[in-house]
A and B are shown apart, each in its own frame.
Chain A
Amino acid sequence: MGKRIGMEVAVAVAEAVGLCNIDMAAVYPITPQSHIAEHLSDLVADGKIDAEFVTVESEHSAMSAVIGASSAGARSYTATSSQGLMYMHELLPIASAMRLPITMAIANRAVSGPLNILNDHSDIMPQRDSGWISIFVENAQESIDMSIIAFKIAEHKDVMLPVNINIDGFQLTHMVEPFEMPSQEEVNNFLPPFVPHATLHPAKPVTMGAFAMSDYFAEIMKAKDEAVKNSKKVILEVWDEWAKLFGRAYKPVETYKADDAEVLMLTMGSMGETAQMAIDELRAKGVKAGLLKLRLWRPFPFAEIKAAVKNAKKLIVTDRAASFGGPGGPVFSEIKSALYAEAKRPLIYNYIYGLGGRDVPVNDFTGMFERVIADTTSKEADTYEFWGVRE
């Protein structure tokens, strides 16, 4: 067992990244990510880690700088949130197409407008199709572990893809929580040196990020899709290795009292721990409630989702972002799509909640269960609702 310490999560994430022998970071501050940028730049300025910290003038430049640095063979890191992520948007598919193993923390925050600095998932959801591996975390320990693990997944020779780690803004980034921080020696043991698949070097000239027309574009997209799908094998291997070394196991879909559950709920990110308390309350009353926590968003864990819901009668999918005029929240529509061809699947309900930082106490989760259990005619299934809005 490592030593348990307490620290603000954003600062702890920067400390964890500081253990990963990064060559460079380019991070533009934005609430609620700023403490990662500030603490990482302190670590560099104080000489605690041997890395370049590039003080870029925007998130567009931050992502451009890490793309350039990673192309030159540097282990490169960035972090952002909300508008900053939106500003990076056009570069995200380029990083994945060039197969650059950049890692990025996203302190999830609502996207404007109206301007709102608090937590939901409306920043990451529009980036869904950018070809990045996308992982959600629930607490301080997971934030730290995944910040270290992300480098190993990204840089694996069979992956070579960028990874983003979604850490709920404020609700996680600004909490002081107890956790175990791995030692430098343990991280050195776990994380091998970065061996890039190609580098920009005058001794061996190459072109990276070249032009491609209609005769090649489809093949390149197919290759990228296969690369993202295939990364799952390595993700599972690396998580297993982490569990052996540190005793903390991670799965694409975490479950809580789900095995015999008749009604399941699915959450992503920090809401999972509150939902878990709701499950305990419901179980105490004899309700067979269970929880699924979707950790791996891309590549999407189809097999694990199917296995996890196969015995449930009803499934409540919670979303922290909307798809305006669409089929429901983005997580809901993906889960529905994943289960479409299943001979036996639960009725699926969708609540969009916790938007723009609105608190979701335990009784909101129990309320969702009560609503769904009371829906005996199933007329509310396959529809979505903004939970708790004033009518």
Chain B
Amino acid sequence: MALKTWRELPIGCVVSEPGSASEYHTGSWRSQRPVWNNSKCIKCGICYVYCPEGCVQQAEDGFFQANMDYCKGCGICAHECWPRAISMVEEG
């Protein structure tokens, strides 16, 4: 998405499209990414519940993954995962 110039900004920066925050990809903030070890995962969904970004999704096989467009790498999922199936790995 091309960034607007100051002349193109709507007056008062009113956002007129509902839900347009999804166009803002917060994944660029991330310095660490969560990596699931599915051999430890018990599919409890704690990571899904605690993710403040709402970006953890359950796949058809029942395991979880994060949408990297939005994952900020906060590490809450890894902290909350009691079977310790999630580790935070430095982004290259």
Bound-state Cα–Cα, A98 to B14, Å: 8
Q: Digitize B15-50: 1 where CB-to-A-CB distance is under 8 Å, 0 elsewhere.
A: 110100000000000000000000000000000000
Q: Is the CB of B4 within 8 A of A198?
A: no
Interface residues on B, range: 10 to 19
Q: How many whole Å from B2's CB to the nearest CB in chain A?
A: 11
Q: Name the one of A97, A215, A222 contacting B12, with C-beta atoms under 8 angstroms.
A: A97
Q: Name the one of A206, A219, A222, A226 contacting B16, with C-beta atoms under 8 angstroms.
A: A206
- Whether B59 sits at the interface, judged by CB under 8 Å, is no
- Whether A203 sits at the interface, judged by CB under 8 Å, is no
Query: What chain B residues lie within 8 Å of A216 (beta carbons)?
Result: 3-4, 9, 13
Most buried by A among B3, B12, B15, B18: B12
Q: Is the CB of B15 within 8 A of A99?
A: no
Q: Is the CB of A208 within 8 A of B5?
A: no
Q: Is the CB of B4 within 8 A of A205?
A: no
Q: Name the one of B3, B5, B9, B16 contacting A215, with C-beta atoms under 8 angstroms.
A: B3
Query: What chain B residues lie within 8 Å of A219 (beta carbons)?
Result: 3-6, 9
Q: How many whole Å from A323's CB to the nearest CB in chain B?
A: 30
Bound-state Cα–Cα, A210 to B24, Å: 12
Query: What chain B residues lie within 8 Å of A99 (beta carbons)?
Result: 11-12
Q: Is the CB of B13 within 8 A of A97?
A: yes
Interface residues on A, range: 20 to 34
Bound-state Cα–Cα, A207 to B14, Å: 6
- Whether A303 sits at the interface, judged by CB under 8 Å, is no
Q: How many whole Å from B69's CB to the nearest CB in chain A?
A: 16
Q: Name the residue of chain B whose CB is nearest to the CB of A199.
A: B14
- Whether A195 sits at the interface, judged by CB under 8 Å, is no
Q: Name the one of B3, B6, B15, B18 contacting A223, with C-beta atoms under 8 angstroms.
A: B6
Query: What chain A residues lie within 8 Å of B14 (beta carbons)?
Result: 197-198, 206-208
- Whether A343 sits at the interface, judged by CB under 8 Å, is no
Q: Name the residue of chain B whose CB is nearest to the CB of A207.
A: B15
Q: Name the residue of chain B whose CB is nearest to the CB of A210.
A: B15
- Whether A245 sits at the interface, judged by CB under 8 Å, is no
Q: Is the CB of A198 within 8 A of B3?
A: no
- Whether A160 sits at the interface, judged by CB under 8 Å, is yes
Q: Is the CB of B9 within 8 A of A208?
A: no
Q: How many whole Å from B30's CB to the nearest CB in chain A?
A: 14
Query: What chain A residues lie within 8 Å of B13 (beta carbons)?
Result: 97-98, 210, 212, 216, 220
Q: Is the CB of B9 within 8 A of A220?
A: yes
**Given A216-B3, A220-B6, A222-B6, A198 contacting B18 (CB threshold 8 A):** no
Q: How many whole Å from A213's CB to the nearest CB in chain B?
A: 8
Q: Is the CB of A197 within 8 A of B11?
A: yes
Most buried by A among B5, B7, B15: B15
Q: Name the one of B3, B6, B15 contacting A226, with C-beta atoms under 8 angstroms.
A: B6
List 14 extra interface pairs beyond A100-B12, A220-B13, A223-B6, CB under 8 A. Answer: A98-B12, A99-B11, A197-B11, A197-B14, A205-B18, A206-B16, A206-B18, A207-B14, A207-B18, A208-B12, A208-B14, A210-B15, A212-B13, A223-B7
19 A-B pairs (CB sep. < 8 Å): A97-B12, A98-B12, A98-B13, A100-B12, A197-B11, A197-B14, A198-B14, A204-B16, A205-B18, A206-B15, A207-B14, A208-B12, A208-B15, A210-B15, A216-B4, A216-B9, A219-B9, A220-B6, A223-B7
Closest 3 CB pairs of A and B: A99-B12, A207-B15, A219-B6
